A = this chain, B = another copy of it.
Amino acid sequence: MASGAELTPRAREIVTAARELLEEEGPEALSMRRLGERLGIRAPSIYKHLPGKDALEAAVISDGFDELAATLDGTTLEELAHGYRAFARAHPHLYRLMTAGRLDRELLVPGAEDRAAFPAIQAAGGDRDAARALWAFAHGMTILELDGRFPPGADLDAAWSRGLQAFAGV
C-alpha cells in the first residue's frame, strides 16, 4: 500500500508548499530542510506526515498530472499541442519533475497519469500507437526546449509546425 491517494490536511499543506518551493526556486531548492524552513518546522517533522521525499515528489507529480489533464481540453491537434507546450513553459520545474527520469508509479495517485494521457489518444482518433508517437514528439520538443538543447536561435515554432503537419497526415 504505497499509494498516495489519501492525504491528511496537513500533508496537503506540505505538498502545496513543496510545489511552490519547486516552482519558485527549482529542484535543488526542494530539500526537506528548505521545505521545513518554509513551513516553520524542522525537516524530520515532515516524516510524520509523509513517508519520505519520493512520496512527497509523487504527490506533487500527481497534482501536476491532474492539472495538465484539466488544461488539455482542446480538440484540434494544434490546440492540444499549444496547451501542452504552454503548460510546460508556465511550470518548467514541475514539468521536468513530472516527465524526466524514472517514475515509481506505485506512489502516484491512481489514474492521474492516464487522465493526462487521454487527450492525446482522443486527438489520434483512438489509435494508441499514433498517440504515443505524437506524445513522444510533443515531449521531445518540450523537454529539449526547457533544457536548452536546441541551438541558440532555432525557430521552435517552425519545428513544432513541421511536426504537427507530419502527424496531421497520418
Interface size class of A (residues with CB under 8 A): 35 or more
Residues of B within 8 A of A103 (CB): 147-149
Q: Which stretch, A2-10, A11-19, A131-139, touches the partner chain B?
A: A131-139
A163 CB contact (under 8 Å) in B128, B136, B160: B136
Residues of B within 8 A of A165 (CB): 170
A26–B127 CA distance with the chains assembled, in angstroms: 35
Residues of B within 8 A of A102 (CB): 147-148
Highest count of chain B CB atoms <10 Å: which of A128, A147, A166: A166
* Residue A41 is within 8 A (CB to CB) of chain B in the complex: no
Residues of B within 8 A of A149 (CB): 99, 103
A140–B120 CA distance with the chains assembled, in angstroms: 15
* A157 CB → nearest B CB, Å: 9
A101 lies within 8 A of B137 (CB): no
* Residue A130 is within 8 A (CB to CB) of chain B in the complex: yes
